Each structure stands twice: as C-alpha cells, then as structure tokens.
Structure 1
Amino acid sequence: MELKIYKDKNEVATAFSSYFADFVKDKDQVHVALSGGSTPKIVFDVLASKYGDEVDWSSIHFYWGDERCVPPDDSESNYKMTVDHLFSKIQIPKENIHRILGESDPNGEAMRYANLLEINLDRVEGVPQFDLVILGMGDDGHTASIFPHQIELWEAEDHCVVATHPESGQKRVSINGKVINTTKEVAFLVTGHGKAEKIEVITQKKEGFEKYPASLVNPASGNLLWFLDKDAASLI
C-alpha cells in the first residue's frame, strides 16, 4: 500500500492524471475500470484538458467498476458523468467504451457484463484481470458498489453482482472483490474530511476495519495506491 497525500482535491486530480498518462504510455492495449463520484469528475476534466492530445486513447478500453441502475442519460449515471467530463472532449473509438447498461434488468446485466469481462480480459485462475481499477470510497467505507451491509458480495461467485444502496434502495451493478483484487494495479481516489475517519481505520487496520469493504482491497499484485487530499488523510 502506498499513500500519496496532496494539498486538495485539485492537486489529487493533477497528480492522478499524470500517473494515469504514464501508466498507459507505450502500452498496446490497456483495460481500465472507472469509478463514479466527485473526485473522478475533476480527474476526467484534467485528463481531457491536459492530456487530451498526449494520450493514445485508441489503446485504452474503458469499463466501470459499478453503475447505478438508471438510463445512460440520467444525471446519476456514472457513464453520463464520464461522457460529459472526458469522452466528449477526447478522440476515443466508440468500440473502446464498454458501459454497464444501467437501464437493463440488473440481474441480467450483471451476467452480461461478467461475460463481457471474461471475453475481453485475460483471466487469472478464471477471474478477469484489469490492468487498472480506479476506486472511490464512501463515507460508510463502501467501494465500487459493495456496501457494508452486503459485504458478503465481495466474495460472490459471479464476477458482477447486483447491490442495493442501503438508504435509497437503488439497485447497482458492481464488479466483485475477486475481480478488484486480481487487477494488476488498483488506485483509490479519496478526498474530503468526511472520509478521514474511515481512512484512518482502514489504512491503519484499527479495530473493526474488516467490516468496511474498502479494507478488503488487497490486490495479489501488491500494487495498491491511495491518492488522498490532506482532509481525507488528516487522521493518519
């Protein structure tokens, strides 16, 4: 685990964008799972403005670690957010964008997306392997869409699962923990005071840390990066 701490969320976005551009450089094909949330939104803006003409976007295939079960033009759609802040501003082949169909039946879509990952990605012991998975973390310690009240989904047999938001009841399709931990490199993007307590518990392995899904992120590769701002890292 490597902790990278920056002044604010804008510095986090700048640093991560530089890291991303280096990560994909000179690779023939890269498979990346994206995250939703406020911090990735800023990252996508920086990537588009600073690296839009530098990165070979045709070599990158984009997926999502999770998606809300809403249409692709809904304001809550992670896909729509990525289109608005990144894809609409860069030259990327449509066939390189592999979205979760949030408008479809959740159970059927989880099966379809799991099958897509099996077809498109190399597999390690039967589990699809991304080159990079970008994760966020909620105030409750959830990551992707694996929430504490459904932490058993982390080890689900299926590569993709249907999760339920604990408050809204909204359905979401999410990759499971096995897929996350099979990834070659995992990067968390976490900012804000509201995340500080969970960041302390998880990164310092304090009592009860195991009940938070984000604490279960432990890629077999050993390549785990946390991009934090000072607010999120204020207790460590």
Structure 2
Amino acid sequence: LFQSLKPFTDPDINQLMAGIPITPTLRGLIREIAGGHPALLQIAGALLYRELKTGKVPDAQAFARDFEGQTRQIFETIWKRCSEVEEALLMLMALFKLNGRLHNQKHFDLRGIEVIFSQHQRELTNLAEQGVITNRKEQGMIISHQDLLFTSSIMQRWVIQEIWQTNHQLLENRQKVFLNLLSHSQAHQVTKAIKWLWQHQKTVKTAVEWVSKVLAAFS
C-alpha cells in the first residue's frame, strides 16, 4: 500500500480526516507522525478511531505504543529500499535536525558538510517523490538541508536508531560511503558525530521523544 500510492497532499489529508471529530492539536499530531504516507495515515486513523469510539479519555500511551509497533515494518522497508547514498543523506539530515534541537548539549560540528545536499539533488528528489522527506523548495531550485523535513517525525527517530545500531564493521562501511561523498576531514566530522550519538543516547532520546506530544494532544 505504501509503495503503490503516491504521498497524499495537504488537501488529501484534510479530506481524509474531515469526518474525524478531533481537535486541531490532535490533527496536527497525526500530520506530524504520518505525513502524507497513505499507510501511516491509515494506521494512525484506525488507532485514533479505536481510541475515540470508546467514548472514554483516549489512551495516549497505547496509541503511541501501537503506532510504533504497527509501523515498524513500513519504516524498515523504507530504509532497506534506500541506496547507500540515500541512507547517508538521511543520516546527515537527522544529524542536522538534532543539531538544531540539542543547542549547547551537543559536542559535534557539521559545518561545511551541508554542501553534500547540493551535490545530490537527484537522490533528494527521489526521496521526496517517495514521500520519505518533504522538500519545501520550489521545483527547479537547488535543495539545501534547511529546505528538507522528514515527512514523518518517526522516520527521524528510525534513522537515529539505525545509527545507534551501527556496529564497528558497519561504521567502517559507512565511512567508506561518506569518503566517496565528502573529504576525509568531513567524513571524520560525521564519524565523530555518530560516535557522540552512541555515547549520549539518553540526551538524544529526550530531544526526539514524541510520547509527550501524544499525551498533550490527547488531553
């Protein structure tokens, strides 16, 4: 279903959710975690309906747990279908997004690495067409990392988890990919950032945590 349908546009999503009696905050949450992915929207809608039809206060913890559980295969499939270059771009996107959230807590430097995005427009366009990321730049304009968002915020969490699960052999393999894309010093910067993520998982988990948003939206 996910691969057979194009990502839904904003009007499509509005029409899909028009019949669900939810608050603007909850509607915004669904858009954030599902984006325009048809399968993700279907799962989110079904879980939301399950919670609302009871007539009781929705169970935010159950919604968050079940959404992550039921969408895991989708995100895994998305990741497996990415090329090595696309995986590298998604990892760098995740690192840049963290860069903005961690503020003074971070201890890695990505300055100069953003050039990789301007050099791989085709891969970024492909990811956007698949609905993995959202490009806010007008068509035909050069895409920079500031123009890009993960269509689903959960996808960013998935990419970070993939970084955490990278063992030393995988890290060496990824270093080879980054060396094909970046200079030696830039590849070293990325490796240093990945190692920092390994060592500070608690800090990173707090930065990308989303259950509190579910609790707030359901309250």
TM-score > 0.5, shorter chain as reference = no
Q: Which has the larger radius of gyration?
A: 2
TM-score of the superposed pair, with normalisation by structure 1? 0.28
Of Structure 1 and Structure 2, which has the larger fraction of its residues in helix?
Answer: 2
By relative contact order (CA 8 Å, sep 6+), the higher-ranking structure is: 2
TM-score of the superposed pair, with normalisation by structure 2? 0.30
Of Structure 1 and Structure 2, which has the larger fraction of its residues in strand?
Answer: 1
